[in-house]
Amino acid sequence: MSLLPIVYEDGEAIVIDKPAGLPIDPPRNGGTSLANYLESLKLGFQRPPTAVHRLDTDTSGCLLMARNPKALKRFAKAFEERQVEKVYVGILAGTVAEDEGEIALSLSKVSTKEAGWRMIAARKGKPSLTRWRKLAEQDGQTLIEFRPETGRTHQIRIHALAGLGAPLLGDPVYGNGKGAPRTMLHALSLKVEREGKPAIEAHAPLPADFARLGFALREGDG
């Protein structure tokens, strides 16, 4: 099993470029997950690193991992207190008239026997905020930069649909799952400030499946 791409590494942190299709947790029906790579990510340390946050199985890009319990606690607190700068890029299955803006919605989880669970915009839900910017448009699809200020489950996916009026391309839950083999969302970069140390700054290159759909990043994007 080949090593996952590492885009940042120091004594207390590793940031990997998680491939699309790799789940964080072992699937119930078996199969490969991040757990299969943990030993190879020790890189000389005694213990394997621990994922600090979540990325959906389909989402590629920057995943921060802590190399010891103290670092895990500090990094988790930084996420909880919104001290982490996160930048995502996604392809909308549609177009938007505006060039930039922000989406503020209260989100709730709903579940049905037929469709399973999903997030919806609901007054009684938890507040969520995403700032966004249009990067490119082609063939009725739009490349969007997302900067989530909060970290709700499926936040960008439901914000695309409910806030921008179009789901992410390939999203089987909030869209029709067509147009791409996966939900087209990529965690492009993250930055975590640290007291007394340089900030963790990581960038994961745009995956090839974005390029195959005709999208690329220009200098200054992200």
Is 16 strand, coil or helix? strand
**Tokens coding 65:** 């991992």
215 closest CA partner among 166, 160, 144, 130 = 144
Respond yes or no: is residue 56 known to be catalytic.
Answer: yes
CA atoms within 13 A on the CB side of 119: 22
**Distance, CA of 34 to chain centre:** 15
Cα(188)–Cα(32) distance, rounded to whole angstroms?
A: 23
Are 38 and 51 spatial neighbours (Cβ–Cβ below 8 Å)?
no
Query: In sequence order, what are the residues at sequence separation of 6 or more whose Cβ sits closer than 8 angstroms to the Cβ of residue 196?
Result: none
Cα(143)–Cα(122) distance, rounded to whole angstroms?
A: 27
Vertex 91: Cα angle to 126 and 135 (nearest 5): 100
Query: Among the options 10, 17, 25, 56, which is catalytic?
Result: 56
Cα(60)–Cα(62) distance, rounded to whole angstroms?
A: 7
**Tokens coding 182:** 């996966």
Is 41 strand, coil or helix? helix
Q: Kindly list the catalytic residues.
A: 56
